[in-house]
């Protein structure tokens, strides 16, 4: 009697667990598109997203800084102010002015060094009296300059 009950118990248990253990192939095949999505498309998308995020973090950033518009001219070892060519400046103040400025704060006319020959002339003159290079300094609201050579060296610029 006890053995029979135990046997019946096992039979019931096996039948019960079979509902979990035996795969329902029809249902699984129905799930295939979802499985494909989860186990194939999902990882691919994940890898793509991770790769993109990784690239976003590692990609070389072009650092740009705003060129100071009005600034004191740098002083060289001999104590002389160094003026970049092509930018208006006031020799008496030692101040480099923003392009397009024709007068210093004091009212004094600004001068500019020719980018080609270095001859200093009034900014009011468009053409260099020495080499004939003609250029006008256009007023700009902001000037950008590269903070450092681009990745790959200055030759890549
Ligand atoms: Zn010149």
How far does the centroid of ligand 1 lie from the alpha carbon of residue 155, in Å?
26
The helix/strand/coil state of 58 is helix
How far does the centroid of ligand 1 lie from the alpha carbon of residue 121, in Å?
9
How far does the centroid of ligand 1 lie from the alpha carbon of residue 129, in Å?
7
Place of tokens 């008496």: 92
How far does the centroid of ligand 1 lie from the alpha carbon of residue 126, in Å?
11
pTM (predicted TM-score)? 0.46
Average pLDDT (59-78) is 78
Q: What pLDDT shows up at residue 94?
A: 92
Question: Is residue 55's pLDDT more than 80?
Answer: yes
How far does the centroid of ligand 1 lie from the alpha carbon of residue 40, in Å?
67
Q: Which of 92, 113, 114, 117 is nearest to 103 (CA)?
A: 92
How far does the centroid of ligand 1 lie from the alpha carbon of residue 39, in Å?
70
How far does the centroid of ligand 1 lie from the alpha carbon of residue 35, in Å?
74
For the chain, the structural domain boundaries read 2-58, 65-140
The helix/strand/coil state of 152 is coil
How far does the centroid of ligand 1 lie from the alpha carbon of residue 80, in Å?
22
Question: Is residue 143's pLDDT more than 60?
Answer: no
Q: Which residues make Cβ contacts (< 8 Å) with residue 85, sequence separation at least 6? A: 112, 113, 114, 115, 118
């Amino acid at each position: 009697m006890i053995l029979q009950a135990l046997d019946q118990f096992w039979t019931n248990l096996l039948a019960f667990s079979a509902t979990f253990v035996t795969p329902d192939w029809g249902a699984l095949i129905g799930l295939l598109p979802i499985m494909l999505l989860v186990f194939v498309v999902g990882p691919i998308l994940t890898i793509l997203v991770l790769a993109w995020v990784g690239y976003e973090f590692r990609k070389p950033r072009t650092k740009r800084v705003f060129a100071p518009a009005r600034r004191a001219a740098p002083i060289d070892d001999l104590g002389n102010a160094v003026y970049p060519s092509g930018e208006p400046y006031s020799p008496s103040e030692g101040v480099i002015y923003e392009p397009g400025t024709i007068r210093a704060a004091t009212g004094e006319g600004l001068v500019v060094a020719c980018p080609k020959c270095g001859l200093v002339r009034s900014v009011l003159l468009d053409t260099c009296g020495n080499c004939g290079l003609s250029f006008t300094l256009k007023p700009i609201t902001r000037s950008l300059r590269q903070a450092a050579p681009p990745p790959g060296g200055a030759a890549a610029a």
